[in-house]
Amino acid sequence: MTCTCFIIPDDVLKRFAADPDLSAELRQSFHHSVEISQKTRAVRDQNAALTLSTISLPFPIPPIPIPRPHRLPAGQVFDCHTGTTLPGTPVANPGTSADATIKRAYVEEESVAKFYWNVFKRDSIDGHHMTLISSVHYGVKYNNAFWNGTQMTYGDGDGQVFVDFTLGDDVIGHELTHGVTQHSLALNYSGEAGGLNESMSDVFGSMFRQWEKSQTVLTADWLIGADIMGPMSKQKGYTCLRNMANPKDTHALAPQPDHYYPGIGNLDPHYSSGVPNLAFTRAAKKIGGHSWEKAGHVWYKALTGFGPSPNMTMSQFAARTRSLATSMYPNDASIHTAVDSAWTSVGL
């Protein structure tokens, strides 16, 4: 299985492409979205392979000096004007653009950089002040958002099933976190590692959404993609793409398993990610407060503190977080208890 790194899994797109309740025009837009997604995978795989070969070299890469005082990395936004050539036309002064999508893409990518720096002291996606690039208005009614290994790309949605993908701050955090994973743990997009890959993006995407809204673990809804649901999706009873606190939620477009079993790695990563998602949610809720303060730091260290491990299994990742919960918080056994019980509750 190759890496898609799209927010919407292919089977959901295909489901709507065959939905008789949708107009022929809407069904065709979903067919096109599937085709584009499949073509983009090769580009993402090549970029990920190049990154892995670079960060796996036997000699260290000299660090790029972090500006003092720290400045956020540069951000650029391009307008595809409903075309599919990337990156598109550069936008001057995107932060003050009259186009709400352009402005939102710029503001939110900057906010993600601020989140990673303020919370984890990570300097941009690669940790080395990498410029953040976003392309908007990609394709005609394109129903997806993706990280292609070097940049973000957002579709406008069809306006009925999905709306403008820049409206989801967790979607933006999710996709940019694929870049963080690419430059750290370098998880493959197959087997259990694939589920972990998707889970890292959901976990940090949700944390970013909660951080922006100053939500606690109890006031957060733990939904992924709630803000990109269009009126037709809501009419059908869908509230989100995934529910981290209740992976089997039938109001989610893509319900997931909530308990580990041998062979879970054979699922599409968008589905197998439900198990580690639930483990993080339960750990964060038991610890209390803000998800990014303690549970988030354990997960971040597990993701970025040990170098590449492309084929890591879920049990290996669980063991790493258990160990880190103790070593990072030696004077607070409740952190380890929360992490340990969360993994145990999902079968790990």
The parent domain of residue 222 ranges over 191-345
Residue 31 lies in a domain: yes
Residues 6+ away with beta carbon under 8 Å from 143: 8, 13, 16, 29, 30, 33, 155, 157, 158, 161, 162
Same-domain check for residues 202 and 330: yes
Q: Over range 205-210, report the average pLDDT.
A: 98
Above 90 in pLDDT, residue 278? yes
Above 70 in pLDDT, residue 40? no
User: What is the C-alpha to C-alpha distance for residues 227 and 5, in angstroms, rounded to an integer?
Assistant: 19
Long-range contacts of residues 337-340, Cβ cutoff 8 Å, at least 24 apart: 337/286, 338/282, 338/283, 338/286, 338/287, 338/295, 339/283, 339/295, 339/298
SS percent in the chain: helix, strand, coil, step 5: 50, 10, 45
Same-domain check for residues 163 and 271: no
Residue 3 lies in a domain: no
Same-domain check for residues 283 and 334: yes
Same-domain check for residues 141 and 254: no
Same-domain check for residues 211 and 173: no
Q: Give residue 5's pLDDT.
A: 76
Q: What is the pLDDT of residues 223-270, one digit of tens each?
A: 999 999 999 999 999 999 999 999 999 999 999 999 999 999 999 999
Residue 311 lies in a domain: yes
Q: Give residue 103's pLDDT.
A: 98
Same-domain check for residues 229 and 158: no
Residue 30 lies in a domain: yes
Give me the CATH number covering residue 313.
Answer: 1.10.390.10
Give me the CATH number covering residue 97.
Answer: 3.10.170.10
| Ramachandran bin of 320, using left for φ above 0, alpha for ψ from -120 to 50, beta for the remaining angles | alpha
Residue scoring higher pLDDT (64 or 153): 153
Structure tokens at 316: 């290996």
Catalytic annotation, residues: 175, 270
Same-domain check for residues 259 and 161: no
Residue 250 lies in a domain: yes
Choosing from 136, 161, 182, the residue where a domain stops is: 182
Residue 224 lies in a domain: yes
Percent of the chain with pLDDT over 90: 84
User: Helices (DSSP H) in the chain: which residue ranges?
Assistant: 10-17, 24-55, 100-120, 169-182, 191-213, 231-235, 269-272, 274-287, 295-304, 314-328, 333-345
Q: Give residue 6's pLDDT.
A: 87
Total-model pTM: 0.92
The count of other CB atoms within 10 Å of the CB of residue 334 is 13
Same-domain check for residues 29 and 169: yes
Same-domain check for residues 259 and 341: yes
Residue 4 lies in a domain: no
Same-domain check for residues 289 and 314: yes
Above 90 in pLDDT, residue 57? no
Above 80 in pLDDT, residue 59? no
Q: Give residue 3's pLDDT.
A: 45
Above 80 in pLDDT, residue 160? yes
CB 123 within 8 A of CB 71: no
Structure tokens at 134: 């976003």
CB 7 within 8 A of CB 13: no
Choosing from 146, 164, 182, the residue where a domain stops is: 182
- The count of structural domains within the chain is 2
User: What is the C-alpha to C-alpha distance for residues 150 and 155, in angstroms, rounded to an integer?
Assistant: 17
Residue 223 lies in a domain: yes
Choosing from 148, 182, 216, the residue where a domain stops is: 182
Lowest mean pLDDT of 47-56, 110-119, 226-235, name the range: 47-56
Q: What is the pLDDT of residues 304-322, one digit of tens each?
A: 999 999 999 999 999 999 9
Same-domain check for residues 40 and 178: yes
Instruction: Quickly state the pLDDT bin for 70 (edges 50, 70, 90).
Output: confident
Q: Give residue 2's pLDDT.
A: 40
Above 70 in pLDDT, residue 98? yes
Same-domain check for residues 202 and 163: no
